[in-house]
Amino acid sequence: MTKNFSYQLLGENLGRHPVFLFDFDGTLAEIALTPDEVNFKPITKYLIEKIAGSLPVGIISGRMLGDLKKLVGINGIFYSGNHGIEIEGPGLHFIEPASSESINLMAELLKELKQKLSRYKCLIEDKKYSISIHYRTIDPKRVNDLLFDVSRILEKPLNRKEIKILNGKKVVEVKPPVEWNKGKGVEIIMRHLKNVDTPVFFGDDLTDEDAFETVNLLNGVSALIGNERSSTKAKFKLGSTHELTGLLARFISENLE
């Protein structure tokens, strides 16, 4: 059973040297209609900066690394884009090697998807190593048709095992066919940091489950944001991004000031 998270539970489960890791969309910022419209609130940025002044911090997102860094705009923290494929931070620069081989195929698929799906007006995001097809903005009645067309376009490369498909919140992700995910991203950051004992990870979506699993194996603290999903590997649950900022504010005022 996933317990409701609280400040007390955070304290009870935290070692002496924690690292705070976060997903971005739906975790540090409310999910917006389109990725470009996301609002990373100044208060959240302030809290993250404050924690990063004393402890290692990382943000692990499905967004492209460059996009994520620009949106967050905090120096000296770890950033991971494309679900762990790209990672950058103090003394760390990592790109999952096999993913680079998919760049040309992704460019071809991007062109085809944009051409064949233009009538839906969905947002097709080029993330270099992967493609996201966002359908939050389209008429719900057309979603099934869209998903059918997407599956037809991706059928061949999928059967040839040239790509993998991941479903998130109103998004289909086309990814390189590698065994790589946010959990591996957590591992890379943990191995790099060496002297941390407790990974703490907050995430809201299916793609965060791999990170929850890794964090649990490392005896860390995993927490799911939101009440939409009942089944999760996260040890704890928090109702909203708003509750998360409240928890972080209290953690800072009682531990870091």
What is the rounded CA–CA span in Å between residue 235 and residue 81? 24
Smallest distance, Å, CB 204 to Mg ion? 4
CB of 225 to Mg ion, least distance (A): 8
89 binds Mg ion, rule: CB under 5 A: no
> Is the Cβ of residue 61 or residue 153 nearer to Mg ion in the bound state?
61
Contact present, 27 and 203 (Cβ < 8 Å): yes
Q: Which two tokens stand for residue 28?
A: 């540090």
Angle at 149 between CA 146 and CA 152, to 5 degrees: 150
Is residue 205 close enough to count as binding Mg ion by CB under 5 A?
A: yes
Give 63 or 235: the residue with its C-beta nearer to Mg ion. Answer: 63
- The nearest distance, CB 25 to Mg ion, in angstroms, is 4
Check residue 209 for interaction with Mg ion (CB under 5 A). no
Restricted to residues 26-85, the positions that interact with Mg ion (CB under 5 A) are: 26
Minimum distance of Mg ion from residue 208's CB (angstroms): 6
Binding of Mg ion by 210 (CB under 5 A): no
Q: Which pair of tokens denotes residue 38?
A: 């996301």
CB distance 170 to 147 below 8 Å: no
CB of 188 to Mg ion, least distance (A): 19
Burial of 76 (0-12, 13-18, 19+ CB in 10 A): exposed
Closer CB to Mg ion, 105 or 165, in the complex = 165
Residue nearest Mg ion, CB atom distance: 26
Residue 86 touching Mg ion (CB under 5 A)? no
DSSP string, 85-103: TEEEETTEEEE-GGGGGGH
Check residue 84 and give left, alpha or beta (phi > 0: left; psi -120 to 50: alpha): left
Closer CB to Mg ion, 78 or 153, in the complex = 78
- Residue from 125, 204, 209, 210 in contact with Mg ion (CB under 5 A): 204
Taking the C-alpha atoms of residue 103 and residue 162, their distance in angstroms, rounded to an integer, is: 11
Round to whole Å and give the CA distance between 119 and 252: 49
The interface region with Mg ion, picked from 21-29, 124-132, 176-184, 188-196 by CB under 5 A, is: 21-29
**Residue 168 or residue 176: which is nearer to Mg ion going by CB?**
168
Binding site for Mg ion (CB under 5 A): 23, 25-26, 204-205
